[in-house]
Amino acid sequence: MVAEGEPAPDFTLTSDTGESVTLSHLRGNPVVIYFYPRDDTPGCTTQARGIRDAYADFERAGAVVLGISPDSVAKHVKFKEKYDLPFTLLADPEHEVAERYGTWGEKRYMGKTYWGVSRTTFLIAADGTVAKVMHDVKPDTHADDVLAALAVA
């Protein structure tokens, strides 16, 4: 798992608009990278809608918000349109970035074991270092928790 104070591992992923987004190209602004399991599921929808509803506060903080899941670009497009999400969703179908950040692993749900993404958020400082790591975030309070972390970063 990437730790606070370390340089954020660079990556390039395809966005919901089909464009490539490279983390290092965003230096100069704080970046919120939130890993989530899947588009259009109850928890992930709650989390995304919370960020959407507080998006003006993220903009005031100068933050770029990137949501990353193993879903395809096509699924991201549908999810983004359905909930009018104003931030970028990135496709990581081979979970390479999730693995690099330590958010891909074995999970248990309702007595079954599977591999998936843990709900983890990384606040990347303007200089490209990891300012804050938030594990097992709660979808209901995620946006407020990230905004509070941005205020002290």
- Positions marked active-site: 44
Q: Write 18-25 long-range contacts (CB < 8 A, 24+).
A: 18/73, 21/66, 21/88, 21/90, 23/124, 23/128, 24/128
- Give the whole-angstrom CA distance, residue 14 versus residue 85: 17
- Give the whole-angstrom CA distance, residue 153 versus residue 150: 5
| Sign of the alpha-carbon torsion through 73, 35, 70, 108 | negative
CB atoms within 10 A of CB 25: 10
- Give the whole-angstrom CA distance, residue 2 versus residue 55: 26
